[in-house]
């Protein structure tokens, strides 16, 4: 149920900015190394002394993240939040015909 994504997508959607906003509070950041072609060629966590971003970066970050949320919130994210809880899934598995105890002649 995990769908791997790229650092490029994480960055372009505003999720890297949002994550780093939170990490800056603790003096941390996620650094992406970008090659001469604009591709991500490395990523690592790092300590930082700065906190937050400029007003311009904040505006851009909120715009990107809001656009991303508008695009995926309804069709992708909302249905995922409506999945059965772990307890409900376990109960469904127990009651499914494949998991019933018994012999083939019952």
Helical axes 55-72 vs 15-24, angle rounded to 10°: 130
Q: Is 86 inside any structural domain?
A: no
Residue 71 lies in a domain: yes
Asked if residue 44 is part of any domain, the answer here is yes
Structural domain contains residue 99: no
Which comes out higher in pLDDT, residue 47 or 73?
47
With a cut of 80, say whether residue 29 has pLDDT above it.
yes
Structural domain boundaries enclosing 12? 7-79
The verdict on pTM exceeding 0.75 is: no
pLDDT band at 102 (very low <50, low <70, confident <90, very high): low
Domain count, the chain: 1
In a domain, 85, yes or no: no
Question: Residue 14 region, left (φ>0) first, then alpha (ψ -120 to 50), else beta?
Answer: left
């Amino acid at each position: 149920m995990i769908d791997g994504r790229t650092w490029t997508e994480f960055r372009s959607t505003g999720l890297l900015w949002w994550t780093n906003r939170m990490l800056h509070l603790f003096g941390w950041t996620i650094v992406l190394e970008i090659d001469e072609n604009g591709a991500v060629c490395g990523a690592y966590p790092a300590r930082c002394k700065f906190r937050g971003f400029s007003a311009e970066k904040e505006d851009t970050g909120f715009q990107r993240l809001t656009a991303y949320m508008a695009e995926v919130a309804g069709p992708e994210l909302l249905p995922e939040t409506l999945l059965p809880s772990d307890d409900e899934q376990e109960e469904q598995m127990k009651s499914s015909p494949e998991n019933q105890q018994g012999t083939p002649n019952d």
